[in-house]
Each structure stands twice: as C-alpha cells, then as structure tokens.
Structure 1
C-alpha cells in the first residue's frame, strides 16, 4: 500500500505522487538527520554577506591555490564585479554554529541582459544569447564548502556517531546515527536548496552554471541533478563544463527518482509548490 500524500497543480492539472511506505520513512529519516546537522541561511544582512565573501576567500584563495589570487583581495573577502547584482546563501553546521559553505545566485541584468553573468563571457550557447531566456534565468556560482571547516565537521560527526556518545543518543536515534556520514556527504544539498529558493524569489526557473566534470558527476550522484550541457568543455581554471538546469524539472524528476534528496532540497515539497506557482504564473502571462 502506498501513500498518496503529495499533490501539486501543474499547468492547471492536479498531479498526485504515490510514495511507498518504506521510501517515505527513509526520506523522512534522512530529512530529520540533515536538518539536525545543517541550516540553510539566506545572506540577507551585511554581516552574512561578508561571511559569504570570507568563506569564498578561504576556499578559492587559500585552500584552492591558483584559483583566485589572494593578493587581489587584501581584506580577506573574495569578490568580483558580479556580486553587486547577486544574492548569497550560507550553510551552517548546527553543532558548532559555524558557516561551512556558501553559494551565490547572480540575477539577470535587465538593463544590459547580454552582460548578466560571468558565463556569458566564456560560452556562446544560444541560451545565453536569447534575451527573454536570459532575463528569466540566474547563474549559480561560487559554490564552495571550506576544506578546513569540513574537517571540523567530520571530527564532530565522528564523535556523534560513537555508540557510547550520550549527547548523540539524546539527539539522534539509533536509526539516525548511521546516516550522519551520509548527510555530511550530501552537505551541498543545502546550498542547492538555497540557490533554488533565491532563483524562485527572483522569478527565475532556470539556472546556468559551470563546474568541473567530476563535480557535476558528484552532484548528479548525490543530488540527482537533472541538467543539460549547453556547450563544449572549456579551459577555465582547468577543465570546466557549462550547463543549466530547470528548477521544476529537477523537482519533478527528484520526487519520483530520489525522494530523500527531493525532500531535503524542496523542504518537504514547499519549494516544489513555489516553483509550480511560478510556472503557472509565467504560463498565464505568456497566454
């Protein structure tokens, strides 16, 4: 017997998704563990934005030597010209209260759409040359999780995973503890969630990005990311692949093929509903 507990209206039609009992229980378990460990925070204050830039400096200038020149950022804050038209998200590790990762969403430049994103200087995809498409899209970039802070997280999780850890036994059930390392491996899901939330907030259904092929493969494995490559691989700080993904496609695919990931990124369906509302709103506008 399956649950028929997820219902959305898509293009005027109500759609119900049947989720089996066991997959739903696993999905709920993973959601609970993930959000006991991590918190997704939109950088909506100067202090939080500064924290995002500080994390970027740590990751791109110190830990990944050669990616960005630290001497170009003497204040310890990694920035570029696109940050003035961007919003940021932070991933916090709750047991320590520290931010461990960040990502940004570059909004379309309505006044000068052809210069909206860094990727437009690197890739000549037809998508990036289509004014209407660009104005309804964002760029997802500067995704990073600090190596040093990740080491701190691993040490805490190693302690929490201990059989005789009294604090852990109160905070995590015997069924949840085996998922602690799984949640750590899936930490970027929170940044993907935050980026999607910012895209929806800015009424953008598509996100452009460029990453190393191995990182895309990892995201596809961990996050079940449904994406489209939009150009040939390029040499940009090493081999990089330009791609894009549609928010609604990611959710529609995830709810069927990887419910635990869908549960975390959609925040139990709330972001999926927001994406559908935006889709329906844009469909009505087009007609």
Structure 2
C-alpha cells in the first residue's frame, strides 16, 4: 500500500506563493470560495476577482494544485506577527473569549506565534453533503480516502503544509479559527489541535484552536511526519523567509 506521501504526491503539488502568478491563483481561489460561493466577503470590493486584504502583507501563502486537472485545489496563508502591538485576526474575532491561560497568545513574544488563515478548498473537492457550506469542507473520512475528489488529502495537505511552514520558521505555536468537527477530523488523522477559547458564531460555529511542535510530533503517525518533513524541505529549497 502507498504511504501517505506517495498518495499525496500522486495527486497534488504544494506550491509556495513566491511569484505573482501563484499568489494571483491563490487570491482568485479565495474570491471564488469566500465571495462567490459563501458570501463571507463582499464581491464588489474585489472588482479584479482577487480577494486580498491588509493582512496579506504579513503572511506567507501556499497553493495546492491538483495534478490530474491543474485545478487550484486549495490554499492557506500563515500570518506572522510583525510587532508586539499587532493583533492577529483571530484575536479580534474572539475578543475576551480566549482562555486566559498559558495558551493565550500574549504569553509569548510576538515573533513566536502566528495564525493559519484563509483556508479554502475548490468547490470540486467539496461536493459531498454538508461540505459545500464551509471554505474547507468537512464531513468525515480518513487520510487514505480514494474518492475521486481526494478530499481528505486536500485537508491533510493544507494543515500539514501550514504546520510544517510554522515549524520551519521556528514558531512555537500557531492558532486557527475552525469548526469543532474539523478539529475532530484532523485529530483522527493525527493532527491534534487544542481548543483555547469559546466557540462563537463567526461564519458558522467556529472556535480558536492552537497547535504546538510538541503536539505535532507527539501525535502524528510516521507517514504523516514524513510528508511534513518533505514540506519543510520544499520551503528550504524555496528559501522561504518571514515577510
């Protein structure tokens, strides 16, 4: 049987957003998902069909390309914290509902944490019941689902890719706003996030979650660790640096 990395690379390429062309593909996918399909953002604010915001200048971006079709299958950005006074988007969304504990972001220096954001999956990979109403699409499944859309591989690739990027950059932890059911799916795949605040109504029921290097290496199965290391090598080859 193929291990996860072989299975993933047979269908997908993870491409860092190091060129204008790749970034435009990322912003166009975000526009399709967040503006046209879900209505989370105002389409009229982006007449060029590219969904961008002020946060992007503090972020690194990656695109997931489906090899058999050439489709932009998914994307994510990792927002870095440029200063002590800067607040990441999830901090504004959650307000005082974040746990005031050792896991609170302000317990760390600003350059030790970031936020995984603007996760989006092309509609072609979100066609099962219940998946089409969220940017990433979530029902059930495992790492080695061979369904035509290879949906679990898309979700796994995006989260392993973003986690690998955070570790490569030396971050102690990263945060993300997501649905609890997505957290449960990722946990079943060995990607374990810890909830660090209340679930709120934020484009649906979402809560703040966090992952650390310790959680990554404690829970990831060997084949997922191997794929994550391959992603880190990819970032090293592209000489990815903080913005």
TM-score where L is the length of structure 2: 0.77
Q: Residue 199 of structure 2 corresponds to which residue in structure 1?
A: 233
**Shift >4 Å, 4+ stretches:** none
- The count of aligned residue pairs is 211
Q: Provide the rounded CA distance (Å) in 2 between the counterparts of 1:201 and 1:44.
A: 16
What's the Cα RMSD here? 2.5
Query: What residue ranges of structure 2 are gaps of 5+ in the alignment?
Result: 128-143, 237-243
> Relative to 1, partners in 2 of residues 1:248 and 1:139: Cα closer, same or farther, differing over 3 Å?
same
Q: Residue 81 of structure 1 corresponds to which residue in structure 2?
A: 54
Matched, 1:205 2:179: no
Q: 1:267 aligns with which of 207, 216, 230?
A: 230
Matched, 1:99 2:105: no
Structure 1 residue matching 2:73: 3-state secondary structure: strand
- Equivalence map 1:133-144=2 (5 Å): 134-144=110-120
Q: CA deviation at 1:37?
A: 0.6
Q: CA deviation at 1:150?
A: 5.7
Is the CA contact 2:164–2:228 (under 8 Å) kept in the aligned structure 1? no
Q: 1:193 aligns with which of 160, 163, 179?
A: 160
TM-score where L is the length of structure 1: 0.66
Is the CA contact 2:15–2:63 (under 8 Å) kept in the aligned structure 1? yes
Q: Residue 11 of structure 2 corresponds to which residue in structure 1?
A: 37
> Relative to 1, partners in 2 of residues 1:42 and 1:238: Cα closer, same or farther, differing over 3 Å?
same
Query: What residue ranges of structure 1 are gaps of 5+ in the alignment?
Result: 1-25, 152-177, 275-287
Q: CA deviation at 1:79?
A: 1.5
Is the CA contact 1:43–1:90 (under 8 Å) kept in the aligned structure 2? yes
Is the CA contact 2:73–2:154 (under 8 Å) kept in the aligned structure 1? no
Is the CA contact 1:227–1:243 (under 8 Å) kept in the aligned structure 2? yes
Q: Provide the rounded CA distance (Å) in 2 between the counterparts of 1:75 and 1:47.
A: 14
Q: Tell me which structure has the larger Cα radius of gyration.
A: 1
